[in-house]
Structure 1
């Protein structure tokens, strides 16, 4: 697949880019030298786009298969990135100017789906548990003027809104949305 001038190969057991991935990818804006974290990198699509824009990119994922796939795609595109295996922020150090996350958001218990690629969709019983944990830790990893791009879906039982984020100490703005047949995707920009 070619996207934004970059070539991507898909790998077994790794989430293939879909509407949510492209919603995020179409809205990435990075200044040269900005520190970027691509959380839940999957095949590396978001991190590679940010790297090509001049970002200093660290990509993380809980899946070894995803990290291997993202590394292969980074090499294919001559993208200079680092990779770390991490469950959300657990093994991530430092602050970033941009944190990007397209979290699993379908209401399903992890482990109830068949394979790793399907489990990468399961956001917990309500679909929002992974996102909630991400939000608890986000402020510790944003630079003073840092921002985060977060994909949410109406399929999650938790409704994410500017009021919801304000209660968690974050300023938010919906910067894009995509209505689909069975859900609506939102892309939020978050700041402390």
Structure 2
């Protein structure tokens, strides 16, 4: 399970500018951000591939949130609802030559594979004016990621940047054209 860290708090800061009826978090980990969504949305859905993460979230950060539903799944594959906002802090570091793979931080060989799969899965779940917020790192192959988003006809806007000691993070706001 991915515990709240600098990138979590970075995404949390961006969330204060978004409000609506229905929100989704992909990969809730501890449930920290899902709890934050409950303050600005009437209905919140959270997904995670780890059942243990969902149990932890429900018994900790989400124990008093009555407007949240949790689903154990990879990304959002069984969902068909339309959402005003979808957020994710997916694994975004490239696997590279690392000897072990940690699926909570490694997003594939170039660091973008999980994010691209997530984007393709989530765009159909956005309502007409819906937004997808996603965290990414300059350590991953941003040029290739941007190229793929352009090929998918996705509107992209960088809403925040943050320099950490070894990388720069961005929060992208994505929407359908």
User: TM-score, normalised to structure 1's length?
Assistant: 0.81
Aligned length: 173
Partner residue of 1:129? 113
Gaps of 5+ in 2: none
Aligned-partner SS, 2:172: strand
1:26 aligns with 2:26: no
**Structure 1 residue matching 2:60: 3-state secondary structure:** helix
Residue in structure 1 matching 2:154, options 158, 170, 189: 170
Q: Which residue of 2 aligns with 1:188?
A: 172
- CA gap of 1:73–1:60, structure 2 versus 1, over 3 A, is same
> Do the aligned residues in 1 keep the contact of 2:88 with 2:134 (CA within 8 Å)?
yes
Which SS does the other structure have where 1:132 is aligned? helix
Q: Give 1:45 deviation, angstroms.
A: 1.3
3-state SS of paired residue (1:27):
helix
Once the two structures are TM-superposed, the CA of residue 84 in structure 1 deviates from its matched residue by 0.2
In 2, Cα distance between the equivalents of 1:53 and 1:142?
A: 17
Q: Which residue, 121, 132, 139 being the options, matches 1:155?
A: 139
Instruction: Give, in whole Å, the separation in 2 of the partners of 1:160 and 1:50.
Output: 30
Q: CA deviation at 1:83?
A: 0.2
Whether 1:89 and 2:73 are equivalent positions in the alignment is no
Give the corresponding residue for 1:106: 93
> Is the 2:112–2:145 contact (alpha carbons within 8 Å) kept by the matching residues of 1?
no
For the residues of structure 2 that align with 1:163 and 1:157, how far apart are their CA atoms? 10
What is the RMSD computed on CA atoms of the aligned residues?
Answer: 2.1
Whether the 8 Å contact between 1:30 and 1:55 is mirrored in structure 2 is: no
With over 3 angstroms needed to count, the CA separation of the structure-2 counterparts of 1:113 and 1:63, relative to structure 1, is farther
Structure 1 gaps, min length 5: 1-13
Structure 2 Cα separation of the partners of residues 56 and 84 of structure 1: 14
TM-score scaled by length of structure 2: 0.88
Cα pair distance change 1:57/1:160, threshold 3 Å: farther
